[in-house]
Every structure is written in structure tokens, then in C-alpha cells.
Structure 1
């Protein structure tokens, strides 16, 4: 399961061609952010300009996430507001197309068109490269659903970024893998994103070079199960994610590498060697476990035990002692007892995560977990989640406090709230606020951490 971002992100296409305008609203994880950027590029080549105001848009596209409970309801609520906006625009003689993309589109398909007649296009995450053609059909009066898994590789059909245009950010996502074959009983990803598919080495390296030439110096490799990536190396041998990281680290201009989200079963020796030997690979690892109870892990179909997970973290920390761990947890999975939950708290105490994401279990239609009996009462899930989050928050703040007085390099990414402030990222993905002086966004600067707040660190330049 890909790590979920908080809130929503508005992504827009690059301006080109005529004056048609598009507003893309992105829900969910980093994979959806990446997909929205690629859809924006495809629409830019088709003549759409960006707008940050929904009311100005000729096309409003919702790129949706289906991981959490009520995701579809949120989409239908947003579509209700868009329906009213579209009809108001029609009374003024102005046209507006509405499209739904992403995982809710994949899961709901024709149901979206049935429930919301004002939607013109429904397109899945594996077919968004066909979005311009779908819009042309919609402009001709057809209501389009395109959610069949693409036979062709969608990455072969996306427009390439122009070289030499500096992006908004000095860090960027790069998708290397999609889909998942693990079939955890709580997760909808195998049904909305499909089986595990790895992008080719050439595609990845080509995009990495374009990003660097456009000013990016930190790249985060993305995948629903990113460490399952595999491909053929230049000599024809089978490569894994560790080999890919060694290859990308050799590209001039890449200062930092990260990757997310990983599965414990796919952490191999070569990937651990990359953590040991590559200065560019940041000492931060998101490695979800979901539960500390072997009984619940088995019911989740995780195919590892808590002891195996802890042993794996021990091996990783042996080769990279300064690594900080991040994780995902689901509270209240069907059949979870207080003893099972206590096992999760015990595991958290042993690992001491620098950051973690925790959620109450929610049934996802079509998954095996939705059919399980012994569902945990909502009030019990709420109480357990509060206890878990209190423990995770304490560990996160203790980790931040341990950084005070340390010297580190940070990559400056954006202006701060106050004049002269710049915000960068620590090796452990924390926001760091510093007076920039003569430094500029995109610079790597040496700092000493002076204070730790709930959500960021303060630093002074050295």
C-alpha cells in the first residue's frame, strides 16, 4: 500500500496551445500526484492551459484515491458540487467538462456515469495516457469509460518533458513500478492498479536525466510495491531495486535518492547494500508492517511474522545505523483482540519509528477482509487508534529532539513564512527552517539543528 498523503493537492498542466483551461484535483498518495503531473503534460500537448481556479476551468478532472473508507463518497460529494457549477455555467452559455480519473474511477466505472450524468469521462490509472482521445470523444457528445487495463505500456505514450525548463520543485517523484501481487486482505490496490509491472531501465534513466536537466536534484522512486521493481541491466542480467539505485546514483546532478513504498518480503541483500554504500540514498525507510500480532498478520495475508519483520529491521540498521524508520499501521482489523493490539504497541516500542501513518480498519468492497466476521466495534477501533497514535507521536518527537545539536546537510526547497527564511529537508525527511543568507532554493547547505517543533526543525547555517 502506497503511503498516503494528507489532504489534497491541486496539480495543473503546462501552458501551451489555445486557451482551454484545466483544473486537476489530486487525492491520496504520491503515485496519484505523479499521475496528475503526467496527465497535465498529456493535456498540455493537447492545448490545455493550467488554472488554479476551478471556476475558470473548461475541464475539471478529479484524480481519485480508493485506499480509505468513504473515498468514493467524497468523490460523489465533490461531483455534486461540480454538477451544480456545470449547470450554472451552462445557463451562462459556457461549457465545462467533468472527468474522474484514478482508483475510484477504476473501481466504480459505469456507476459514476449512472449516478452523475454530468460526468463526461471516467478513466483508470492504467489508461490516463489515452485521456486526450477520451476528451475528444466526450466533446463529440459521447460519455466515455476507459478503465480496461492497457495492453500497451502507458509510459511509452506520454509526452516527454521539455529539457531546460526549470520545474517548480528541486525534488521530484519518478514512478518505477505499479500494481501489487501481494493481495493483502485489507487492500484494494491489486484490484484498482493491477498486477506488479516494472518500468524499463531505459525509461527510468531517461526520465531521471530529464529531471536533472530541469533542475531536480532529489528524486523519490515510487511504486505501490517499489522494492519489487525488476528489469534487465545493460548487460542483460536481472536487476532489482538495489541495482537501479546504484545506477541512478551515478548520474551527475542527482544529490539525493529516496524510494517508497516497500514491502518487507522484497527487501533483499542488494537493496541493503545500497543503503550501506550509497551516500545519495537517504537514511530513511518507509517499511509498513500493519500489525504486531502474528495472528492478525496471517489474517491480513502479509506472509511474514512480527519476529521476521523485527529481524529485518535489525539487519538494515546493522548496515546503516543512522537509518530512521517509518511505517503504516491498521488498527481494528477483523478479529483483533486487546492482546493482538498490545502486540502492535510492543512492536512499536521496539522499532521506535521516526514517523508513521496509522488508520482504523475500513472495509473495502471486493476485498477478502470485507467478508470477514468478527468486525471490531467502531468505538473500540477509535480508542485503540488514539493509544497507538499517542505512542507514535511520542517517538516521533523524541526522534526530532535527538536531532538538536546535530550537524547535517539539507536541500533547500522553498521559501519560509518569514523574510529570509528557507525550508529544506533533512536526510530523514523532516522540514528544516533556516535563514537562507546567500543561499538559494536548490542549494545543499550545512546546518546545525537548534530546536525541534511538533512538525519541523529549526537550524542555523554553518
Structure 2
């Protein structure tokens, strides 16, 4: 007699927000797959749809509520999790048909809600989960989350209220995950957290054993160990604490990519004080010069906020002058947006929307000009490029060591026949625009 296993329930997933939320989605789906669930790529084919929400800005909340509504309209059986999940009343008022609401990092509660909504038949479970959990990124790059939460109390941010204070993972747990990812085909590890420089502060940089040696829970020690695994290592969300200077020699040695993602937010000392951020901008410029002297190809990316309450014309002019002096490689900008629960809401002198827009336009014009000049200087050089896509016509798209996925520029190749996604190839740069490079495999 031919025996057949019951069909396992299928789970759909909508993941919104930052890379840290994407890692949460991966962990949830990995736990569900281990429980015997299958994954679905469509609303219609799913037994339950999970929506992992973002709740930082009002615009992100609106996007999350829209996504929940779309999932309900298409499927009808929806479970909500993530940062907006901390406000269950808001979600349930807008969408009373949701099956359950859980907050960020509440993996067990999400799995329990799925089990209640779509139980797995007892004999449908097969233990076929490999060493690496389910990934929502391509095989060749992976986000590696090293901690949760944040100890800062910036006035525009509610992350500590959503995700709590800093909680670091033991170094051996991070390294074990990284080893498995690299063994499974990851060519680039993107190290993320809310404050990567603060990694290990909460556990007093405790050392933990792995492969016969101990590694401290400290970003410098961790980066050095990650650099031994044979993959690109890219560091995100690096606050410019003094010990960040110790990462630069690792870049000079080739252990870590020459790339720092530093959230400067502003340059005017008055605005930084109002934000409750470090305000030593002159020292930052000195350190940028020092880093570039040690690693000439280092790429510095940052994001800024214009229109913060109390920002004057003089403050904004200071920011533009600082930007010209700093000559950052990758620059993003946001118009200040009030966030429910943020201390900045109570500050005086909120900036009119029209003024925010005008400042944002001027800022981005300056950023575009700086980026274009930086990229023009790369014409004629040969760079290592990690391929993200290859088309049937012989073209390919990838990223240099100066480009993080989804937020920075790209390198577009012609005559890329025979290459495949995940290859690291040498590319001679022939042309550039404001944000992207164009070339041919060397």
C-alpha cells in the first residue's frame, strides 16, 4: 500500500522595515519550518499570512496597516508581529479580523499563534532542517545580527521603547552562525544591530569558547574573527566611539571591508545637543582624515536628518559646509518626522514642512554632486565586484566593496557571459553616473 504524508500547512510572509526586522522574519520562518510548516509565495496558497511590521515613523505605520489590510483582503487569515505589534489596539481597531498580534522579537508567541491557527498534522513533520535556517536574502549574502536593543536615548527615536536596551549575543554564537552561513555559500556577511560599536557592553565583553579558543564579545575582536572566514565582512550602524579607530587596521589587512556605516544624523553642535547626540564634529573630521590616510579606499556612508525641531538656517548651512568638508562616499537624508512617543515631539520651534522639503532638496543636490565626483574618480580603475544578478543578454549587476545591498549604488557590467550570481569578479570601470558605476569584467 502506498503511504502519503498529510500536506503541511503553508505560511506566507510579508516582511517590512529594516534588515534587523528581516532577520526576525528569517528566525520566525526557520522555527516554523522546523515545526513542519511549508512556505508559500502567494496570499492565495497560504493557510496563514504573517505580516512583520515596522512601527518607527508614522509613514511606516501607515505602510504596515496597508500591508495588513491587503493580506486580509487576499487571504483573510492574518497574524501580525513586529514593531507595530506593540500597539495591538491600533492594529485591531483598523483590522479587527486579524487572528493575533505579537510584538517585536516575540518568536515563541508568533509560532504559538500559527500553531493555533493552522495546526500541523502529527505525521506531516519531517526533520529535514539544515544547519542554516531559512533565509530571505539571496544565498550569497546574509545579515548577521549581533545584538538587540539600544542604550542611547536620542530624542527622535523610540527603538529602546520598542526593542529594549542593548542585549548582545555571545561571541561564539555569532561566530557559529557565521561559519554555517559561509559554509552554505554566503560570500558577504553584513553585520547589523542597533549600535554595533556597543556590542558586548551589556555582558562586560565576556569571552566565550569556539573551536578551541575564546573570543571576547567586543566589535574589534568579533570583526577580526569574522575576517578569518573567507567572506566579505561589512559593518553597519557603527557609532564613532574611540575604539572604532581599532577597526581601521583590520580594513588595511583585508580582514574587514573598507566600509563604515556611521549614523552621524547632523553636524551642527546645537542640533546634535537637541537630538541628544555626540556633538564633536571637528574631531570627527580629524578622524576621517586619519582613517583615509590608513585606508585610502575606505567608504564612509551616513544618514542625516534635516528639519529637526529648532534647526535654524544657520544650523542647516553648517551642515552643508560640514558635508563639503567631510566628503562622505554614501549619503542619505530624511526629513524629520514626529514619532509617537519620542521626546522630540515636545521640543519647541518645529520646522514647517515646506522648509524641510527645501532643505532636503538642497542637501540631496549636494550629496549627489559629491557622489558623482567620487565615482568619476574611479573610472579606469579595476575593482572587485560581487554579482547580485546576471541576465540572459550577457549583462550583470553587482556591488563593489563600497556598496551595501539595497542602500548604496551598483556596478553594471556588460559582456558578463559565463558569470553567475555570487561570483566575485574583477571589473574595469568605464563610466559612472551620480550613484552607479559601469564596466566590463577584466
Alpha carbon RMSD of aligned pairs, Å? 2.5
How many angstroms apart in 2 are the aligned matches of 1:460 and 1:27? 35
Q: CA deviation at 1:125?
A: 2.1
SS in 1 for 2:344: helix
**Contact 1:71/1:104 (<8 A) preserved:** no
**Contact 1:181/1:195 (<8 A) preserved:** yes
Which residues of 2 match residues 285-324 of structure 1 at below 5 A? 285-324=260-299
How many angstroms apart in 1 are the aligned matches of 2:133 and 2:54? 32
Q: CA deviation at 1:405?
A: 0.6
- The answer as to 2:70 corresponding to 1:81 is yes
Partner of 2:125: none
- The answer as to 2:117 corresponding to 1:133 is no
Q: CA deviation at 1:236?
A: 6.1
- The answer as to 2:50 corresponding to 1:39 is no
Decide which moves more: 439-448 or 374-383.
Answer: 439-448
**Contact 1:272/1:316 (<8 A) preserved:** yes
Q: CA deviation at 1:160?
A: 7.0
Give the direction of change, closer, same or farther, for the CA distance of 1:237–1:53 in structure 2 (3 Å limit): closer
How many angstroms apart in 2 are the aligned matches of 1:442 and 1:85? 35
- The answer as to 2:237 corresponding to 1:261 is yes
**Contact 1:243/1:270 (<8 A) preserved:** no
Partner of 2:189: 219
Partner of 2:123: none
How many angstroms apart in 2 are the aligned matches of 1:409 and 1:120? 48
How many angstroms apart in 2 are the aligned matches of 1:53 and 1:134? 20
- The answer as to 2:164 corresponding to 1:186 is no
Give the direction of change, closer, same or farther, for the CA distance of 1:124–1:308 in structure 2 (3 Å limit): farther
Select 2:223's aligned residue among 238, 245, 266. Answer: 245
**Contact 1:228/1:266 (<8 A) preserved:** no
How many angstroms apart in 2 are the aligned matches of 1:260 and 1:310? 20
Q: Deviations over 1:146-183 (max 9, x none)?
A: xxxxxxxxxxxxx9753699984211111112211111
Give the direction of change, closer, same or farther, for the CA distance of 1:165–1:191 in structure 2 (3 Å limit): closer
How many angstroms apart in 1 are the aligned matches of 2:318 and 2:190? 32
**Contact 1:222/1:261 (<8 A) preserved:** yes
Partner of 1:12: none
Give the direction of change, closer, same or farther, for the CA distance of 1:207–1:123 in structure 2 (3 Å limit): same
Give the direction of change, closer, same or farther, for the CA distance of 1:161–1:197 in structure 2 (3 Å limit): farther
Q: CA deviation at 1:201?
A: 1.1
Give the direction of change, closer, same or farther, for the CA distance of 1:213–1:330 in structure 2 (3 Å limit): same
Select 1:370's aligned residue among 345, 352, 365. Answer: 345
**Contact 2:27/2:133 (<8 A) preserved:** no
**Contact 1:161/1:210 (<8 A) preserved:** no
Select 2:381's aligned residue among 406, 409, 423. Answer: 406
Long gaps (5+) in structure 1: 1-15, 87-95, 141-158
| Number of positions where the alignment pairs a residue of Structure 1 with one of Structure 2 | 415
Which consecutive aligned stretches of 4+ in structure 1 deviate over 6 angstroms post-superposition?
164-167
**Contact 2:368/2:435 (<8 A) preserved:** no
**Contact 1:243/1:271 (<8 A) preserved:** no
